[in-house]
Amino acid sequence: MLSLSLKKSRKHSRYQRAANIGHPAFTIKFSDMSGYNLPATMKAMILKKPGCPLQPVSVPLPVPAAEQVLVKVSACGVCRTDLHILDGDLPPVMLPLIPGHEIIGEVVGTGKKVTTLKCGDKIGIPWLAHTCGKCRYCVRGQENLCDHAIFTGYTVNGGYAEYTLAWASHCITLPDIFASKAYAPLLCAGLIGFRSWRLIQTYAENIGIYGFGAAAHIITQIARYQDKSVYAFTKPGDNASKEFALKMGATWSGDSSGAPPVKLDAAIIFAPDGSLVVNALSNLDKGGRVICGGIHMTDIPYFPYQILWQERSISSVANLTREDARLFFDIADQVPVTTSVTYFPLHQANEALTALREGKLTGAAVLLP
């Protein structure tokens, strides 16, 4: 549920090679293994071609570059962005590919330049794997728009595996309360939901959420904590999602084709259906804002200027920043946020993705190696 920039650069290519599994560049030794008995190979689920199921494989254990860490994956959430990658909605950048970017794990090896993390640390690995720190976007505090950004589970291998690599600078040190497998969805559904939340006006009281899944059920808890009212919109006839929304604290739930009992101050769209932008605009009060929280969406159909007039606006959300993560985990701890998850063993990743595609999940799916 994120957006990205894929501008090519020599630096990007170098980083991508360094994070590839089984690459000849993996000749360096760990600076810190702290007695871990690491295997020579690991199990993973690999995408070889868009439109095809993931395949279970055994591959060489990756070795961290100087600024990376090796992480033993405890859990990896299944995100709708993974579906867009598998389906080819997002152009393939690296194949074969290990998907997955909602990762919780333990550091079991560090590169020779890593000083901020050590073996045994419990960390989260989000979608934003690395940024250059030098382009105009990074310099002005918009690292989510970095020209040379690298993305976990898309331009480098991710967490549908027993182990993965990550840049130490972009890992998230998790509070103890969120270091368990149930909270893997916070690493994307939570973070991108929170970035979407930050884009709505602070004075907004009545918030519409279109598509009530992983991100929505997390953000609804924050909304209630801040005394906001959430109006949840689901697919027509999806009574299970309506009930789930009310259980998580929504004030009202109804069909996405309908209207709520009040005008909305803002709306966040997590579902990848462009027609919902028009629906949301039609339900906005004057000065209201529609936030599109997805990395991919079907085309937005024609709509009359009249429903945009009176200073209504539409905005997209692209990726996340490390500051988003810091602020999100601070408030998530205060709420405290809980998650509704369904666990699948790693080898059933295809089944988990099918359940997400078919709307059979309540909350999120999490893979366990």
pTM above 0.85, yes or no: yes
Residues 68 and 183 grouped into a single domain? yes
Is residue 89 packed enough to be buried (19+ CB in 10 Å), middle (13-18) or exposed (0-12)? middle
Cα–Cα dist 54/48, whole Å: 7
Is residue 5 packed enough to be buried (19+ CB in 10 Å), middle (13-18) or exposed (0-12)? middle
Residue 194 within a domain? no
Check residue 106 and give its pLDDT.
97
Check residue 19 and give its pLDDT.
44
Residues 358 and 330 grouped into a single domain? yes
Residues 136 and 226 grouped into a single domain? no
Neighbours of 357 (CB within 10 A): 13
Residues 214 and 123 grouped into a single domain? no
Residue after which a domain boundary falls, among 316, 337, 352? 316
Written as one letter, the residue type at 215 is A
The CATH number covering residue 297 comes to: 3.40.50.720
Residues 210 and 95 grouped into a single domain? no
Residue 140 within a domain? yes
Of 74, 65, 69, the residue nearest 103 (C-alpha): 74
Residues 87/91/96/97 CA torsion (nearest 10 deg) = -80
Residue 195 within a domain? no
Residues 357 and 276 grouped into a single domain? no
The model's pLDDT over 226-271, given as tens digits with 9 standing for 90+, comes to: 999 999 999 999 999 999 999 999 999 999 999 999 999 999 999 9
Check residue 263 and give its pLDDT.
98
Residue after which a domain boundary falls, among 273, 300, 316? 316
Place of tokens 């024609």: 302
Residues 53 and 181 grouped into a single domain? yes
Q: Which helix (H) or strand (E) holds 106?
A: strand 102-110
Residues 37 and 149 grouped into a single domain? yes
Range of the domain at 152: 10-188+320-368
Check residue 9 and give its pLDDT.
39
Check residue 207 and give its pLDDT.
98
Q: What total number of domains does the chain contain?
A: 2
The CATH number covering residue 356 comes to: 3.90.180.10
Residues linked to residue 57 through DSSP beta bridges, in sequence order: 44
Per-residue pLDDT of the chain (369 residues; tens, 9 = 90+): 343 434 433 344 433 444 444 333 333 345 555 567 899 999 999 999 999 999 999 999 999 999 999 999 999 999 999 999 999 999 989 999 999 999 999 999 999 999 999 999 999 999 999 999 999 999 999 999 999 999 999 999 999 999 999 999 999 999 889 999 999 999 999 999 999 999 999 999 999 999 999 999 999 999 999 999 999 999 999 999 999 999 999 999 999 999 999 999 999 999 999 999 999 999 999 999 999 999 999 999 999 999 999 999 999 999 999 999 999 999 999 999 999 999 999 999 999 999 999 999 999 999 999
Check residue 10 and give its pLDDT.
39
Residues 101 and 242 grouped into a single domain? no
Sheet holding 206-210, edge to edge: 252-255, 229-234, 206-210, 264-269, 284-292, 313-316
Residues 279 and 249 grouped into a single domain? yes
Residues 38 and 173 grouped into a single domain? yes
